[in-house]
Amino acid sequence: MNEELQGKYLEFQLLQQQIQNLQQQLELIQSQLMQLASLNESLKEIKRTKAGTEVLFPLGAGVYAKSSLQDNENIIMNVGAKTAVAKNIKDSCEIIEKQIEDMKKVAKDLTDELGRSLFRGQALQEELQVMFQEQEKKK
């Protein structure tokens, strides 16, 4: 293999790794978007539920506990650095909706970058095929 062909092949391999990383990041963002949308809908459902209503709340892994909803106006929200504050549901929904919009922008940027990388990968693959065929003719 000549140096130019080796260089193109290395570039192609690096681009494939970049594409895989972009795909993984995009999957993670899409998963987070679904979680945020579900959370937002749950908060709106709490707001519509009368205080004193018996509810099930998730403990994890499909396990729930019965409880009584004491307050349908406020929640406790983690704001980072192991700090949680009381927030009203309306403000919490606005924060979550802003996060959703921000995540959608990140997802669009990743999708655009993935498209460009895929296009470049296809072009590199075609170049490699031509270079390989030319090298085979020389043998």
- What is the number of domains present in the chain? 1
CA distance 66 to 49: 15
Residue with tokens 């092949």: 9
Predicted pLDDT at 15:
96
Q: Which pTM was predicted?
A: 0.79
Helix residue ranges, H only, 3-139: 3-48, 89-138
pLDDT mean over 49-68: 91
Q: Which residue has the higher pLDDT, 60 or 115?
A: 115
In three-state secondary structure terms, 77 is strand
Residues of the domain holding 125: 3-138
**Which CATH number belongs to the domain containing residue 92 in this structure?**
1.10.287.370
Q: How confident is the model at residue 80 (pLDDT cuts 50, 70, 90)?
A: confident
Does residue 121 surpass a pLDDT of 80? yes
